[in-house]
Amino acid sequence: MEGPVDEDIDGDEGAPGNPSKQLTYRQKLRIIEEKPTGRSYSDIGCEYGRGHPTIMRICRLFEETESLDRKKGTERKRKTTTREDRAIMKYVKRHRFYTAEEINREVSLPGLCCNTILSRIKESEEFNCYWAVHKPFINRANRQK
């Protein structure tokens, strides 16, 4: 099988013993190359830290599509809609010194994590998330300190 075996196409070298990482293009290519040699799916799976169903699926998909690319739309679904993203950004513009927790409470979007709020702010590229060095004082006694 001809192809870029020695080049890492997607740049991320997945750890063989860590099944939470996706297999890289190069690893999938090697799996496809090893199957005709007569090795079992289980043997190949042990080498890459995966089960035999995973190896079978990779081989079957390659036979059907002749491609090792992932299907479009297989990534994680977004937690917020574009309308909710706009609501978050509108609130951030009005209240620049609020924390992500405060924004989450005020916008009242159920089931959102503070990290999601921070991600939406970063995605907008209008603001940079940073740790506030000095938050405004609440009352006169604190301002005099």
4-44 per-position pLDDT tens digit: 444 444 444 454 555 557 888 899 999 999 888 888 999 99
Domains with residue ranges and CATH for the chain: 1-75 (1.10.10), 82-124 (1.10.10)
- Distance, in Å, from the CA atom of 77 to the CA atom of 73, rounded to the nearest integer, reads 9
- Distance, in Å, from the CA atom of 67 to the CA atom of 71, rounded to the nearest integer, reads 10
What residues in the chain have per-residue pLDDT under 50?
Answer: 1-13, 15
Note the helical H segments in 4-145. 25-34, 41-48, 52-65, 82-94, 100-107, 114-124, 140-143
52-65 vs 25-34: helix axis angle to the nearest 10? Answer: 90
What is the structure's pLDDT at 6?
41
What is the structure's pLDDT at 131?
63
Which two structure tokens, joined as six digits, stand for 102?
């405060």
What is the structure's pLDDT at 2?
44
Which residue's structure tokens are 């924390």?
99
What is the structure's pLDDT at 104?
85
